[in-house]
């Protein structure tokens, strides 16, 4: 706010800056009978005023104005879980391929031995971490396939399927975690 006041004060002290520009409907802003320095001062003042005004604008209306909708949240989580599952798959596959070159033994026996030696809490946490995104992404993918078939597209059914996906995710994650 102080910067805007100082700019306006500078412009008020140098009225030639304002007299050097005129807005015409057909041709936009035209500069006439003004020195290059006056034009640069005017452009700088306009830029500074806009920069100061942008500081007080909200980043996105979705973050500050609109109520969060379950459809938008599930859409974001569907993308996030898909990227995470795909990334984890590639990292695991590349690790398996690179292990012999690094002198690390990864075979079924070593994986079973490591898993058996882990504490129960760590096993449950690991299974939940893997199963939750998998179950959610799978169920929400089925929901999207139903939509692609042109079914359940009215708003009430969209919300019903969203809550069904969340409930199914909770049940499926619990089942796979404690299996």
pLDDT given for residue 84 in this prediction: 96
Token pair 């919300």 is at which residue? 159
Query: Cβ atoms within 10 A of the Cβ of 146, count?
Result: 14
pLDDT given for residue 3 in this prediction: 56
pLDDT given for residue 20 in this prediction: 46
Each of the 179 residues of the chain gets a pLDDT tens digit; together they read: 555 566 566 666 665 555 444 444 555 555 555 577 778 888 888 888 888 888 887 676 666 677 788 998 999 999 999 999 999 999 999 988 998 899 888 888 888 998 899 999 999 999 999 999 999 999 999 999 999 999 999 999 999 999 999 999 999 999 999 98
pLDDT given for residue 62 in this prediction: 62
Per-residue tokens: 150: 């042109």
Angle at 105 between CA 103 and CA 110, to 5 degrees: 160
What pTM was computed for the model?
0.62
Any residues with CB less than 8 A from the CB of 102 and at least 6 apart, and which? none
pLDDT given for residue 89 in this prediction: 94
Question: What gap in Å lies between CA 64 and CA 81, rounded to an integer?
Answer: 25
Question: What gap in Å lies between CA 177 and CA 129, rounded to an integer?
Answer: 9
pLDDT given for residue 54 in this prediction: 83
Contact 18, 11 (CB under 8 A): yes
Helices and strands, number each (H, E), in the chain: 8, 2
Structural domains present in the chain: 2-57 (no CATH), 70-177 (1.20.1300.10)
Contact 157, 71 (CB under 8 A): no
Question: What gap in Å lies between CA 136 and CA 40, rounded to an integer?
Answer: 57
Query: Cβ atoms within 10 A of the Cβ of 90, count?
Result: 10
Question: What are residue 30's DSSP bridge partners?
Answer: 22
pLDDT given for residue 150 in this prediction: 94
Query: Cβ atoms within 10 A of the Cβ of 179, count?
Result: 7
pLDDT given for residue 156 in this prediction: 95
């Amino acid at each position: 706010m102080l910067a805007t006041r100082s700019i306006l004060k500078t412009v008020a002290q140098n009225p030639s800056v304002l007299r050097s520009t005129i807005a015409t409907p057909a041709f936009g802003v035209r500069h006439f009978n003004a020195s290059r320095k006056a034009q640069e001062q005017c452009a700088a003042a306009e830029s500074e005023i806009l920069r100061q005004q942008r500081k007080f604008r909200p980043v996105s209306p979705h973050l500050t104005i609109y109520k969060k909708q379950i459809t938008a949240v599930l859409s974001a989580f569907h993308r996030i879980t898909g990227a995470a599952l795909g990334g984890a798959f590639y990292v695991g596959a590349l690790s398996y391929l690179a292990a012999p070159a690094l002198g690390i033994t990864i075979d079924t026996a070593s994986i079973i031995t490591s898993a058996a030696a882990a504490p129960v809490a760590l096993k449950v946490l690991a299974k939940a971490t893997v199963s939750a995104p998998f179950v959610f992404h799978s169920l929400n993918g089925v929901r999207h396939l139903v939509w692609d078939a042109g079914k359940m597209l009215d708003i009430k059914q969209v919300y019903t399927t969203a809550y069904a996906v969340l409930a199914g995710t909770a049940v499926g994650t619990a089942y796979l975690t404690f299996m």
